[in-house]
Amino acid sequence: MKIYAAKDYSDLSRKAANLISAQIIMKPDAVLGLATGSTPVGAYKQLIAWYEEGDLDFSRIRSVNLDEYKGLSGEHDQSYRYFMNHNLFNHVNIRKEDTNVPNGLAEDAEAECVRYNGVIAAMGGIDLQLLGIGGNGHIGFNEPSSVFEKGTHVVTLTEETRQSNARFFASIDEVPTHALTMGVGNIMSARKILLLASGEAKAKAVYDSCFGSVTPNVPASVLQLHSDVVVIADEAALTLVREKTDWKDGIYEV
Ligand code: F6R
């Protein structure tokens, strides 16, 4: 695991976009595993800007997103499909049919999870998986638990996650109670992983995930077992790491 320090959110976004661009340039038909949430928005904006300048070509890129709310259609403005279309896909030349998000409206959610695992396998796996992290260490919608779930599965959202996402909905009652998410196994099968963390609310999760025990209680801690993980965190998210280690500058290798 390599940890890169970013000065602030805009530095983090540029560094992340640089690594994603490198992947696109090195492998023009790469499979990108993508995330929603507030953290990657700046990186997506930077990628769009480089695309507009003619530096990036998404025409052969394929993508697979981590998760989707159960019960929301892709047209719902809080669905993750809507988020991806509006924050990235509509602004670059990726073919929509090459972008994948679990279908939140699938009548049989379990069957949709099986289908989604098949989609990832048929694409030959994920070249670069982008991740955000929850304050409790969740990745995708893999919440703290007693087990690591391997494949795509249906989860019951914790009250903490529903409350924290309620700001995007008219009321807490409208926040879905379930979601479909890639499992930890899907994420760990990616050839490279890029985890982004911004803000002090993530400081404990970053420290525990990078330096604590590997436990499903802190889902992101499993990333310590992957051989190619880059964490980019801004100084606010690194507060605890700075306090508890002697790391001053450069790249920290855990
Ligand atoms: C998003 C996702 C979540 C977020 C995490 C952090 O697809 O799977 O795990 O990455 O909740 O969210 P933000 O970036 O909003 O702090």
- With a cut of 90, say whether residue 27 has pLDDT above it: yes
Angle among Cα 197, 190, 99 to the nearest 5 degrees reads 85
Query: For the segment 118-170, what is each residue's pLDDT rounded down to a tens digit?
Result: 999 999 999 999 999 999 999 999 999 999 999 999 999 988 889 988 988 99
Query: For the segment 35-50, what is each residue's pLDDT rounded down to a tens digit?
Result: 999 999 999 999 999 9
Distance separating alpha carbons of residues 20 and 123, to the nearest angstrom: 18
Instruction: Please choose from 12, 66, 87 the residue to mutate so as to test ligand 1's pocket, defined by most ligand atoms within 8 A of CB.
Output: 66
Amino acid identity of residue 171, one-letter, is: S
pLDDT of residue 249: 84
How confident is residue 65, by pLDDT bands cut at 50, 70 and 90?
A: very high
Q: CB within 6 Å of ligand 1 — which residues?
A: 35-39, 66-67, 132-134, 138-141
In 3D space, the residue among 61, 67, 59, 46 whose CA is nearest the CA of residue 131 turns out to be: 67
How confident is residue 250, by pLDDT bands cut at 50, 70 and 90?
A: confident
Angle of helix 41-52 relative to helix 9-26, nearest 10 degrees, comes to 50
Query: For the segment 183-239, what is each residue's pLDDT rounded down to a tens digit?
Result: 999 999 999 999 999 999 999 999 999 999 999 999 999 999 999 999 999 999 999
Distance separating alpha carbons of residues 64 and 175, to the nearest angstrom: 23
Catalytically annotated residue among 68, 112, 127, 143? 143
Angle among Cα 252, 129, 113 to the nearest 5 degrees reads 140
**pTM higher than 0.85, yes or no?**
yes
Catalytic, 234? Answer no
Catalytically annotated residue among 138, 149, 153, 208? 138
DSSP-assigned beta bridge partners for residue 194: 130, 230
